[in-house]
Amino acid sequence: MDKERRLIIAGNWKMNKTVAEGLDLVNGIKRELTNVKEVDIVVCPPFTALCEVSKAVLNSNIRLGAQNMSENGYGAHTGEIAAGMLKEFSVRYVILKHTERRQYQKESDALIAKKALAAHGAALKPIVCVGETLAEREGGLTEKVLDTQVRGSLAGLSKDQIAETVVAYEPVWAIGTGKTATAGQAQEAHAFIRRLIGKLFDESVARRVRIQYGGSVKPSNARELMGLPDVDGALVGGASLEDRSFADIVRNSI
């Protein structure tokens, strides 16, 4: 598949996998995808598995991501993880503003903007998630919601930092539900986000920034979604927990 931007396909393992299970999974993915060079492949294990998984992916085509980080540096923040701690395990990406954290931890756009700045400060690439609920979509509010979330969570980043940020469009109603946005809905939302970034920053940044789709991506729908002009990859939850299905998503996207 000939795309303007390099695809990035990331597996978000969420609060799943012990260290041993995580190693099994990542070793399986490594075996399945050993010759794949066309796509950036990222796995995002829970913090507890980062150390061992980082050793397993050393010198491979698989990059490591974390699922969250603190907006603060080292210090008195019990239970938090600083960007510098993630760097110790060669983490390259960090998911921010996942809908589950917005919903359960009440993370705001302003907090995410701080986290995104801290991530870039440590040379980590944030994967910033945005997306509307079903009620918002049905109320005709999708673009308004995306506008607020994109503006709020990217506030304060420089143009170069934006270009190195990955935005993940994840309609909340499609996450873990088996419902996927149609190709038309996904392309429309992605094109809207790219136009907005063009307006807020500039056209060349908008052309460079990668926008992933997330929401019940599976091997059977990956090809169509990844073929859309403004879709530059996928953030995968459920289907990333099994090596064959994650690998099939990557293979079907090429």
Q: Which residue in the block uniquely carries the two structure tokens 């490591």?
A: 64
User: Which residues in 139-178 contact ligand PEP (CB under 6 A)?
Assistant: 170, 175-176
Nearer to ligand PEP, 201 or 240 (CB): 240
Nearer to ligand PEP, 22 or 237 (CB): 237
Residue 144's contacts (CB-CB under 8 Å, 6 or more residues apart) are none
Q: Contact at 8 Å (CB) between 223 and 250?
A: no
Q: Give the start-end residues of each E strand in 188-237.
A: 210-214, 233-236
**Which range, of 74-82, 115-123, 157-165, 212-220, touches ligand PEP by CB under 6 A?**
212-220
- Which residue has the CB atom at the shortest distance from ligand PEP? 237
DSSP letter for 11, please.
E
In 3-state terms the chain splits into helix, strand, coil percentages (rounded to 5) of 45, 15, 35
Question: Is residue 190 annotated as a catalytic residue, yes or no?
Answer: no
Q: Contact at 8 Å (CB) between 104 and 135?
A: no
- Shortest Cβ 245–ligand PEP spacing (Å): 10
**Which range, of 20-28, 118-126, 188-196, 237-245, touches ligand PEP by CB under 6 A?**
237-245
- Shortest Cβ 174–ligand PEP spacing (Å): 6
In whole angstroms, give the CA distance from residue 63 to residue 18: 19
Question: Is residue 170 annotated as a catalytic residue, yes or no?
Answer: yes
- Shortest Cβ 77–ligand PEP spacing (Å): 25
Residue from 217, 225, 226, 247 binding ligand PEP (CB under 6 A)? 217
Q: What b/e readout covers 187-198, taking b as 16+ CB neighbours within 10 angstroms?
A: bbbbebbbebbe
Using CB under 6 A as the binding rule, whether residue 214 contacts ligand PEP is answered as yes
Contact residues for ligand PEP, defined by CB under 6 A: 12, 170, 175-176, 214-217, 235-239
Active site amino acids: 98, 170
